[in-house]
Copies of this chain bind each other. A is one copy, B any other.
Amino acid sequence: MKISVVGLGLIGGSIASCLKQSGHKISGYDIDEKTISYAIKNEIINFGSTKLINIEDSEVVILALYPTVLIKWLKNNQEKLSANTIIIDACGIKGVIISEIKKFLRSDLEFVGCHPMAGKEASGIMHSSPTLYKDANFIITPVDNSDYAINVAHQIAKNLKVKNISEITPLEHDEFIGFLSQLTHVIAIALMNANDNKDLSLYTGDSFRDLTRIAKLNEDLWTELFTMNKEILINEIELFEKSLDEFKNALKNDDIELMKTLMIKSTLRRKEFDKK
């Protein structure tokens, strides 16, 4: 297929290079001239430009942009796309994005919400990799989509060599992500900020490093993601706080049995999780 990737950061660059290796013809677009040069030099794309030259030739346009930028880009540039173009995204949030896009999208274009679930604590095309999504989870959130468009999304996911492809609603997506991704990032931020001792690294084992790895994050992107999922995320934080309080109170009350019960439960759940 002829595919355009708009936004050649870590995500867009990784998608572009992997799809190119799968045999698709990739045009890459980015506002940064150096990014385009890098992408061409490193054979991440077949063609690249800071202008949207020839984007009308693409059957599929993949938007690898920040959520707010994505909505603006589509509003400003949808007239440049040919009829029947399938538009796919890679955003970590779905409900707000899809409902906003529905308000203005041309009726002869089709948007399929997608979320390939992997990332890195680094941004920019120089950190991109054709194997970023290998064995990852890939979520599609269909809303009034044609079978053809859903099939295209599946095809792209398979070409990215993901492990699982799931179809769920945008709301289910945002709830899962609120818990699994956003809450974990909030916890890492809060933990990293809870204690200002600079010598801590001398006394730590692996658990703290693992838990706070994601405390290094892009504040512009994550503020957008959190704000667009505000109600769900606040609810998830509060459910977590309840669970934490239950454990704290067991400790306060020397309730050894309850502490053990909670540990056995978390151990079983985590083991179940490993199997899949």
Decide if A206 touches B118 in the complex (CB within 8 Å). Answer: yes
Query: Is A215 in contact with chain B by the CB < 8 A criterion?
Result: yes
For residue A188, CB closer than 8 A to chain B, the reply is: yes
- The number of times this chain is found in the oligomer is 2
Q: Which of B119, B216, B223 contacts A259 (CB 8 A)?
A: B223
The answer, among B185, B193, B247, for a CB contact under 8 Å with A189, is B247
Q: Mark A249-276, 1 if CB is under 8 A from B, else 0.
A: 0011010100110111111011111011
**Contact call A207/B189, Cβ cutoff below 8 A:** no
Contact present for B208 and A210 (CB under 8 Å): no
Contact of A216 among B185, B219, B266 (CB under 8 A): B266
Residues of chain A at interface, number, CB under 8 A: 89
In chain B, what residue has the closest Cβ to A258? B223
Contact yes or no, A237 B244, CB < 8 A? yes
Contact A186 B240 (CB under 8 A): no
Complex alpha-carbon distance, A214 and B191, angstroms: 15
Our pick among B177, B226, B266, B271 for the contact of A188 (Cβ within 8 Å) is B266
Judge whether A69 is part of the interface by a CB distance below 8 angstroms.
no
Residue picked from A139, A205, A210, A220, most chain B C-beta under 10 Å: A205
- A residues 178-199 near B (Cβ < 8 Å) are 179-181, 183-198
Contact A186/B252 with A164-B202, A204-B137, A270-B215 known, Cβ cut-off 8 Å: no
Contact B219 A267 (CB under 8 A): yes
How far, in angstroms, from A223 to B176 measured CA to CA in the complex?
31
A190 near B240 with CB under 8 A, answer: yes
Contacts of A214 in B (CB 8 A): 207, 210-211
